[in-house]
Every structure is written in C-alpha cells, then in structure tokens.
Amino acid sequence: MDLLTHLTKEPLPFAALLGIEIVSAVPDKIVAEMMVRDELCTRPDVLHGGAVMAFADTLGALGTLANLTDEDRTATIESKTNFISAAPVGSRIVGETMPLHRGRRTMVWQTRVTTADGKLVAIVSQTQLVFRNN
C-alpha cells in the first residue's frame, strides 16, 4: 500500500472535521488542502489562527507518522506560528510540510501555508515527540 493510501484509509477525526484533504504524501513531504469555511473563520470572514495552526499541526503529525511503524505514535510538544496574511472565507489553503529533523525521539517539521494562488498565510514549525513501540 502506498503512503498516501495508508495515511488516508482511516482519516483522523479532527482532520475530517476541518475538511483536510491530503493531496500527496512521501516520507519527506506532505501536501494537503483545506477549504476556508465560514465556521472556521473569525470576523471579518477570515480563517481563524487556530484553524491555521490545527491544519499545520495535522500535517506535521502525518509527516512524522509517515516515518514511523504502524505501532509507533507521536504527539506535538512544541509549535510556533508566524502569521503573514489572512485567508478569506471561500478560499482554499494549501499546506506543504517538510522535515527539518527526523530523529529517533523527536522530529521537527516546517509547514508553509498558502492560499491556492500562492499568497503566504503562515509558516509553522513544530516538534513531534516519537513514542516507539520497540
């Protein structure tokens, strides 16, 4: 089974609630998209910062899982977000996460979040703790 199929066969409940759609997945890069819906927005009709962070956090976690066995688990232990610009309701955002470090106990991922037309929305860096089952 390829990695994309593996990561999407049982969608994470919160990712499904957000509407995250994984576009591509390889061990060193996950790409996903999400529609900016009204219920994910603050006023005046722009994507809530927490939704941006949750989107990026999900991608970093998936990137970590893409580098683990099925028995291993992960949890975010640190996250930093630089907000650059707003994503308006009705737009589609794209997240691309890549590893900065893939160690045995921790992994660090950086996610670039843009609008579909390429406007930078945020840069998120996060550290994932790895729980190995061996």
Alpha helices in 27-109 (DSSP H): 49-65
Q: How far apart are CA 88 and CA 115, in angstroms?
A: 9
Instruction: Give me 117's structure tokens.
Output: 């037309």
Tell me what the pLDDT averaged over the chain comes to.
Answer: 95
Domain ranges of the chain: 3-131
What architecture is the 3-131 domain classified under in CATH?
Roll (3.10)
pLDDT, one tens digit per residue, over 18-60 is 999 999 999 999 999 999 999 999 988 999 999 999 999 999 9
Lookup result for tokens 């893939």: 102
- Look up the pTM and report it: 0.95
pLDDT at 14: 92
Query: CA-to-CA distance for 7 and 117, rounded, in angstroms?
Result: 26
Per-residue pLDDT tens over the stretch 76-97: 999 999 999 999 999 999 999 9
CA distance 87 to 119: 9
Comparing C-alpha atoms, which of 34, 88, 79, 32 is closest to residue 57?
79
